Amino acid sequence: MERGELTEVTTGDCSDLYYVDTGMYDTDGYGAAYVLDAERPAVVETGIGTNHERILAALAELDIDREEVAAIAVTHIHLDHAGGAGFLAEACPNADVCVHAAGASLLADPGRLVAGTKAAVGDQWEFYTEPKPIPEERIREIEGGDVVDLGDHELHVHEAPGHAFHQVVFEDPENDAVFTGDAAGIWLPGTEEIVETSPPSDFDLEQCLEDLETIGEIDPDVLLYTHFGPREVGDDLEDALAEYGDVLSTWVEAVESKRRELEDDEAVIDHFAETVGSERADTWGERKASAEAAMNVRGVLGYLDGE
């Protein structure tokens, strides 16, 4: 799948659903945005903003007028999910930007969000663009139990605060699918591997494990990962979620053990940036893989300090 390429999701019984590789961090197969070609069309996830034109091009390819887009839905306000929301809202004047109430103000006035992102991603910031503030009247604050009505599809909102306190997942019952945000990990379709995501500053292992239980209770046939792409799980859902729970728990244990061994947090970060970065260089390239590992270590260290 090439950057900017629009691909129909035919996984499971999905219909009216497409995704595009936004080319996030100048990396293939890392950041997806979804277009739901419903009676009232929606975009789910918006990337870091830098390549938002690729999402607009996807709408055009599907013959969806920008004025017809009813919803721009983000699972949480981390800028790899919500960074393009302001640009898309400007281009799609009738769309509500649907975001958890806890993070809504930071999309209207993103200054603190930008500062936090720069602290979390370090020199990866060069791949971002400054997010556009979203007028408050364009923002629809959502929380668990809400439903985004798209006509022949609906997005049912479920709280999933383990990765970030402002995260939700969206259930599309018509497609028997869940847009997972970061609640179910990072899916590497090329190797069919699930890997950890644990960035600062809100990562909470126990809550992440509870979020997996939430997805299990929804019982979808398909998981739609922002990172990256659709995955049919069907009757293997319980095993798939348990596998990620084990991956995440083992990751936290590894960081905690290395911290005890080295007694130097910067050395711990460097260790995993080198080792995990090397392991995943073939998937994302050495620079992105190393930076991702370093960020995830910082999130775990913060979690351990908060215990």
Q: Cβ(9)–Cβ(19) under 8 Å? A: yes
Quickly tell me which residue has 């993070």 as its tokens: 103
Residues of the chain with pLDDT under 70: 307
Positive or negative: CA dihedral 117, 93, 71, 188: negative
- How many C-beta atoms lie closer than 10 Å to residue 138's C-beta? 19
* pLDDT the model gives residue 307: 60
Q: Which two three-digit tokens encode residue 228?
A: 């990256």
Tens digits of residue pLDDT in 181-234:
999 999 999 999 999 999 999 999 999 999 999 999 999 999 999 999 999 999
CA dist 37 → 41, 157, 222, 278 (Å): 5, 19, 17, 39
Tens digits of residue pLDDT in 275-292:
999 999 999 999 999 999
User: CA 240, CA 194: separation in Å to the nearest integer?
Assistant: 9
Of 149, 153, 148, nearest to 38 by C-alpha is: 153
Of 147, 233, 155, 247, nearest to 194 by C-alpha is: 247
* pLDDT the model gives residue 1: 82
* pLDDT the model gives residue 103: 96
Quickly tell me which residue has 């990620």 as its tokens: 244
User: CA 193, CA 282: separation in Å to the nearest integer?
Assistant: 13
Of 124, 83, 72, nearest to 106 by C-alpha is: 83
Of 140, 91, 136, nearest to 110 by C-alpha is: 136
The SS3 assignment for 72 reads: strand
Q: Cβ(27)–Cβ(285) under 8 Å? A: yes
